[in-house]
Amino acid sequence: MTTSEILRPWHALPPSVAAALRPELPGVAQEIIEAVRVEVPPYARRLEGPFGRGLIAGVEQALRQFVDGLGTGGKLPRARVYVDLGRGEMRAGRSLDTLLSAYRVGARVAWRRFASLGAEAGLPPATLFELAESIFVYIDELSAKSAEGYASEQSAAAGERSARRQRLVRMLVRTPPADPLDVEETAREAEWRLPEEVAVLVFAEEQRARVVPRLPADAIVELVGEVVVAVIPDPARSDRAQQLARAVGGRLHAALGPAVSWRDAAVSLLRARAVLALVEEGVVRQRGVIRADDHAAALLLRSDRRLAQELVRARLAPLAALPDGPRARLTETLAAWLAEQGRLQLVAERLHVHPQTARYRLGQLRELFGDALEQPAARFELELALRADGLL
């Protein structure tokens, strides 16, 4: 026996079965429709509109096709109506189970009526058993077609929603900013709630396959330029840090911009990209989620590279003429002295040298920098210059 014969048992039914059933099809169709109204609540009041007309047409066509196919064993013809019914359920926001329940009700009513008609026509029990099997296999095929339509519409809806969310990401992070009303409309179409605050996470495109599937379900993602941009809603939520750390892992790296209003998402993106650049240049040596808020000074100094270079040249000029070795030692000593606010013992401990050595080096610095070491504004600029020198 072939697969087709196993799946479609009605091929063995004699033509007399169709002859006995065909005259009663209108009445059977009406009985099925009434049973569906009663037993499937979502359809109780919806059989007058377009969907109702489609369902009634589907019932009538299903019965005709079934009876016309008795004795042929052919595949299900004109299946589009059942595919469309599945699509309609998805568009209406209902579970497919509602439609499948209606099919089961229809199969039960059809079998009860067909069995009665067959018995009245004198059909033998073996033929009635084959008729019963045929009805339920046929309903399984209708159900499969509707499931196909439902899945197809579900996939199309997911693809459309994904495209809208990608567009929303681009709108949120663009400079100049998009019209807030346009953003709100796109968010509604994308079925994404605009939160009070967002933060932007960025990472390299080659990390996309590993990171994106692990991101929180409410994150929206798009490729912007050469980096993947994920807009994270409600970044201050208690579980967010753990979710993002889990998504990125300990071997990869991603930069997280500050929490801002969704209207300022472009600012969060700008800072996240700046931090990512520091990582890629080796200035920041971290893995995992790297927060822009933790590198504010570096971002500030890197925001105007030329100004930072001029500051370094101007404030650290006394060290520039020294040989490499002494320059490195005195630069390190100056940084320690500024960090420890001139406390000699702590400076020595930080440098891992004897206090007398630290005192000697500080004397050299005073000769080089003069009164600048005693002026608060000058000390501040010296510290900025040292930090900038490490970033350039």
**Alpha-carbon gap, residue 93 to 195, rounded angstroms:** 24
SS3 198: strand
The confidence score (pLDDT) of residue 8 equals 65
Within 10 Å of residue 384's Cβ, how many Cβ atoms?
A: 17
**Alpha-carbon gap, residue 347 to 218, rounded angstroms:** 49
Burial class from Cβ neighbours inside 10 Å (0-12, 13-18, 19+) for residue 14 reads: middle
Helices (H), 284-375: 296-302, 305-315, 317-320, 324-339, 344-351, 355-369
The token pair at 93 is: 């926001």
Reported confidence tier of residue 208, pLDDT bands at 50, 70, 90 = very high
**Alpha-carbon gap, residue 375 to 175, rounded angstroms:** 41
The confidence score (pLDDT) of residue 75 equals 59
The confidence score (pLDDT) of residue 76 equals 57
Percent of the chain with pLDDT over 70: 93
Q: pLDDT, tens digit, for every residue of 263-309? A: 999 999 999 999 999 998 888 889 999 999 998 888 888 877 888 78
Reported confidence tier of residue 213, pLDDT bands at 50, 70, 90 = very high
Q: pLDDT, tens digit, for every residue of 148-168? A: 988 888 888 778 888 999 999
Kindly tell me if the per-residue pLDDT of 377 is higher than 50: yes
Mean pLDDT of 198-218: 95
Reported confidence tier of residue 127, pLDDT bands at 50, 70, 90 = confident
Q: pLDDT, tens digit, for every residue of 42-57? A: 877 666 666 667 777 7
Percent of the chain with pLDDT over 90: 41
Helices (H), the chain: 3-7, 15-21, 25-39, 50-69, 80-91, 96-120, 125-173, 180-189, 208-211, 240-248, 265-280, 296-302, 305-315, 317-320, 324-339, 344-351, 355-369, 376-391
Kindly tell me if the per-residue pLDDT of 248 is higher than 50: yes
CB 56 within 8 A of CB 48: no
Q: Say what angle helices 50-69 and 25-39 make with each other, to 10 degrees.
A: 130
**Alpha-carbon gap, residue 22 to 377, rounded angstroms:** 101
The confidence score (pLDDT) of residue 4 equals 42
**Alpha-carbon gap, residue 136 to 19, rounded angstroms:** 20
Q: pLDDT, tens digit, for every residue of 67-83? A: 887 876 555 556 788 88
Q: pLDDT, tens digit, for every residue of 305-357? A: 888 788 888 889 999 889 999 999 999 998 899 888 889 899 899 999 999 99
pTM of the full predicted structure?
0.59
